[in-house]
Amino acid sequence: MSKINDTQLKQLLEAAIFVAEGPLSVEKMRSTILLELDVSTRQLNKVLKELELDYAPRGIQLTKVASGYRFQSNSGLGQLLSRLWQETVPKYSRAMLETLSLIAYKQPITRGEIEDIRGVVVSSHIIKSLVEREWIKVIGHKEVPGRPALYATTATFLDYFSISSLSELPSAGMFDDTMAKAQEASEQAQVSQSALELEPSPPNSPASKEQGDKNSTLH
């Protein structure tokens, strides 16, 4: 296997994370770009940490989320960067946020258990929207009559809010407000892998129409 020094490794990792279609995990790095290179775990972690520190004071930062590493914009620039998008940030209903909150903190949980806690029926539309957004998924069925589905959050949910594990969630009492603020900051400020992707689609383009259709389903 070929040797690679820290400088070369840093350049390789920086470029790979930048061009990757989504967050790049260490496992993915090792099975692709590092497959034929002699890189120890210590060297890899050291260089990734150096990259994080290099970008820490910049407008673009290297962040570790549940699915791996990605570049995204500094959240403090959200209001200014939002002017690059024509689409408005989708606003989610209180019922949807409460449902997601219960799944995040009580998982695995059934729809019936959510309804018992909230005291109201959970709309099928809410569950469908959360599943389509890939924020929740069915992870099994509870062994009771009817075998209702058990729901849990996904890595996509964690990625969206720029956290790497459920332990980083705020306290349950702060969850709804934090979710509302986080979703807005994430939609406005996130730069997915490349600054070149920041330019919005023309208003009448298929991509713009598709995004509009998705947003409309979440209200």
Q: What is the pLDDT of residue 93?
A: 83
Q: Which of 65, 18, 43, 31 is nearest to 197 (CA)?
A: 18
pLDDT digits 0-9 by tens, 25-45: 999 999 999 999 999 999 999
**Range from 19-28, 29-38, 114-123, 201-210 carrying the lowest mean pLDDT:** 201-210
Q: In this predicted structure, what is the pLDDT of residue 15?
A: 96
One-letter amino acid of 4: I
Tens digit of each residue's pLDDT (9 = 90 or more) over 121-180: 999 999 999 999 999 999 999 999 999 999 999 999 988 888 888 888 876 666 656 555
SS3 label, residue 208: helix
Report pLDDT for 200: 44
Q: How far apart are CA 45 and CA 37, in angstroms?
A: 15
| Stretch 73-87: mean pLDDT | 77
Say which CATH topology domain 84-217 has: Arc Repressor Mutant, subunit A (1.10.10)
